[in-house]
């Protein structure tokens, strides 16, 4: 029986396909590395909000930035 050994969606370009499983790069997760995490965990001064696979830092009072 022939089986597909690659990774669907080629891990979205955010990881490597090893034995049919995506090994995600840092700051990415999900079955196909489709979810991004906030860079540097919002520097410890905010919350990471993930909506539809896109992350955004919600900064604590007194802090600003990406």
pLDDT per position as a tens digit, 8-51: 789 999 999 998 899 999 888 889 998 888 877 888 899 888 88
Residue 63 pLDDT: 92
CB contact at 8 A, 20 and 32: no
For residue 53, report the phi and psi dihedrals to the nearest 5 degrees: 80, 0
Number of CB atoms found within 10 A of residue 9's CB:
14
């Amino acid at each position: 029986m022939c089986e597909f050994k690659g990774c669907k969606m080629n891990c979205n370009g955010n990881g490597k396909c090893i034995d049919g499983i995506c090994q995600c790069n840092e700051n990415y997760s999900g079955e196909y590395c489709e979810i991004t995490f906030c860079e540097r965990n919002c520097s410890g001064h905010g919350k990471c909000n993930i909506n539809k696979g896109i992350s955004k830092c919600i900064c604590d009072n007194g802090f600003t930035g990406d």
